[in-house]
Structure 1
Amino acid sequence: MTTIKDVAKLAEVSVATVSRVLNKNGYVHSETEKRVAYAIKQLNYKPNDVARSLFKGRSKMIALLVPDIMNPFFPELARAVEDMTKQHNFTFVLCNTDDDIDKEMAYLDALKQKSVDGIIIVSSTISADNISGMGTPIVALDRILSSSLSSVTVNNYVGAKEAVQHLKAIGCKRIAHISGPENVSNAKQRLKGYLEEVQDEEWFLPSYIEQGEYHFEDAKEATKKLLTTHRDIDGLFVANDLMGVGALKAAESLGIKVPEELSIIAFDGISLGETTSPALTTMAQPIYQAGAKAAEIIIEQIENQHSFVTNEEFSVKLVERQSTKFGRSSL
């Protein structure tokens, strides 16, 4: 294996000079720099990243923690983070946590040991106390973890209200909700938006709400329960698209026609919703832009070594497809 000493010997300079060229630290004469660059190329020398990180105090590595890599929302989000980190010459690390606090803490400990430069976290279980001693820039994505952390989210409350308003506008009289996990900030906001629109209606009952935990199977079973208990339900707002697909399958299994008998609208705007039959009406998030913004914020904090709290909130938009009455594609 080629070492820095081999480069120094071929370039006829000291090891310290090669180090200054590699790390762009200190003055090196232009002709000397050219000799070092030539030697590096000739020997195909690859600097030791661990050694460089110890020297510079940085690893050029950014990690993203996501709760469920099987949910297509998170790979779409991860792609944006990866693209942005690559543009700035950072190595991207993706960690799937299964929303397991022990797994999350194990990842955080390992990343700290590796001197990771920054961490972007999507989590339903991590609290401010869990990350208080990290000493590493952290940005919360998709949901808020703490008021002391920078975050990138969307207007979940407003988007949920608009989803229910759309169901009302197309004639739905009994509107139910498949909610996300009760401890997740975005699920709480979507539930709050739903309730704002329906809780004063004379037909509304608390049993019009079932939890789907942001999972396909849970949502499928929750929808079956709703539709068999309340046969008059003709509108359904589902808190994410993956659960929306579960709701479509539940309706199909019960012989309920979508959208003729039941209109379904979900939330996220993942590409999966375009492939279902009928295609899924949704409140679409700007997924790529949100992921890219989180990466921008973490890179700025790393590069400028500051910890200013920044909270970015994007808007969502209605994308009408075939799962709601009179739906049409607006893509």
Structure 2
Amino acid sequence: MPTIRDVAKEAGVSVATVSRVINSNGYVNEDTKKKVVKAIQLLNYKPNAVARSLFKKQSMTIGLIIPDITNPFFPQLARAVEDVTNDKGYTIILGNSDESSEKEKEYLDIFEQKYVDGIILATNTLTSEQIAALEKPVVAVDRPIDSGIPTVVAQHRDGAHVAVKHLVGIGCQTIAHIRGPEHVVSADERYKGYLDIVQNQQWYSEQLVVSGNYTIKDAYKASLNLIKERPDIDGIFAGNDLMAIGALKAARELKKKVPEELAIIGFDGIDMCETTYPELSTIVQPVYEIGVTAANMLIDLIENKRVNNQYFEYPVQLKVRNSTRGQTPKNCG
């Protein structure tokens, strides 16, 4: 494999001159630059990316931390980020945190060692002080961290309003909520949206809210107990689609007809909603657009470009399928 010394020898210049050409650092006259470029092409020389990052403290790499790679929402988000970064000459290092603050800190240490140029975070464990200490651009996605940190999210609370109103509109009279983890901002916002609509209803009680931890398994178990204890429930708003799928499984096991006896709606709009039986109604987030916006914003910040709007809140959309009844899809927010 050719080295930078081989290129210098072929071009008849010093190693320092080759380095200046490769790193666009310092003056090199045009004739000399052409000789170096010709030598690089002739020898098929590939600059050592690690060495360049050590020299420039820059790597054309961004870090991406997501909480759960098994949740289809986050691979869709990661795909959008990767599409943008690849198009702009950057690569990504992906970290799956499992909602663990320790794992997130470990990934941040790795990102520092790799000289990543910026980071996209979907986290609720890191503080604004920890992020400021990174001394590099950071964009929060899906979950806001602090008003001073650039952020891209969806309208979680408004989306919950639309989901619950849809259940009311199709005749549901006792509506339960399967909520996500209490430390996750998006889960809290969706729970608050549910409460905004139902808390003054005569039938409402805290017993109608159970935790599903954003997973099929936990939501399935919670839904089994909930439906057994409250057979009068005729509507369920799940805080994400995976939990709605868990509720569908529980309803099927308890021989509750969906949607005739129990209507179920989720949140996120993952592709799996079209493969369930019955197909799942949901509140659709524009996940690809969220990822694209976050990646573009981060790269603009890395490249010191002006970013006028550092907070994006995307509207969501009601998508009605066979797990609920009636109504026409509409934009909300």
Normalising by structure 2, we get a TM-score of 0.94
Please state how far the C-alpha of 1:277 moved relative to its aligned partner: 1.3
Aligned twin of 1:219: 219
> In 2, Cα distance between the equivalents of 1:104 and 1:111?
10
Superposed, 1:23-62 pairs within 5 Å as: 23-62=23-62
Superposed, 1:1-331 pairs within 5 Å as: 1-304=1-304, 310-326=310-326
Query: Which consecutive unaligned segments of at least 5 residues does structure 2 have?
Result: none
* CA distance 1:292–1:110, shift in 2 (3 Å): same
> In 1, Cα distance between the equivalents of 2:309 and 2:143?
15
Partner-residue secondary structure (3-state), 1:140: strand
Please state how far the C-alpha of 1:329 moved relative to its aligned partner: 8.4
Deviations 1:107-164 (A, max 9, x none): 1111112211111111132222433311121111100112221111011111000110
Partner-residue secondary structure (3-state), 1:260: coil
Partner-residue secondary structure (3-state), 1:65: strand
Please state how far the C-alpha of 1:290 moved relative to its aligned partner: 0.3
Deviates more, 1:50-59 or 1:3-12: 50-59
> In 1, Cα distance between the equivalents of 2:291 and 2:236?
28
Amino acid at match of 2:286: P
> In 2, Cα distance between the equivalents of 1:131 and 1:307?
19
Amino acid at match of 2:228: T
Deviations 1:207-257 (A, max 9, x none): 000011111111111111111111011111000011111111111111111
**Cα contact 2:21–2:28 (8 A) shared by 1:** yes
* CA distance 1:218–1:210, shift in 2 (3 Å): same
**Cα contact 2:236–2:264 (8 A) shared by 1:** yes
> In 2, Cα distance between the equivalents of 1:167 and 1:124?
30
Amino acid at match of 1:224: L
Identity of aligned residues (%): 50
Please state how far the C-alpha of 1:35 moved relative to its aligned partner: 2.7
**Cα contact 2:151–2:311 (8 A) shared by 1:** yes
Deviates more, 1:243-252 or 1:280-289: 243-252
Amino acid at match of 1:35: K
* CA distance 1:216–1:73, shift in 2 (3 Å): same
Write out the 4+ residue segments of structure 1 that deviate beyond 6 Å after TM superposition.
305-309, 327-330
* CA distance 1:133–1:309, shift in 2 (3 Å): farther
* CA distance 1:277–1:329, shift in 2 (3 Å): farther
**Cα contact 1:174–1:235 (8 A) shared by 2:** yes
> In 2, Cα distance between the equivalents of 1:16 and 1:177?
65
Q: Count residues with an aligned counterpart.
A: 330
> In 1, Cα distance between the equivalents of 2:172 and 2:281?
15
Deviates more, 1:303-312 or 1:165-174: 303-312
Query: Which consecutive unaligned segments of at least 5 residues does structure 1 have?
Result: none
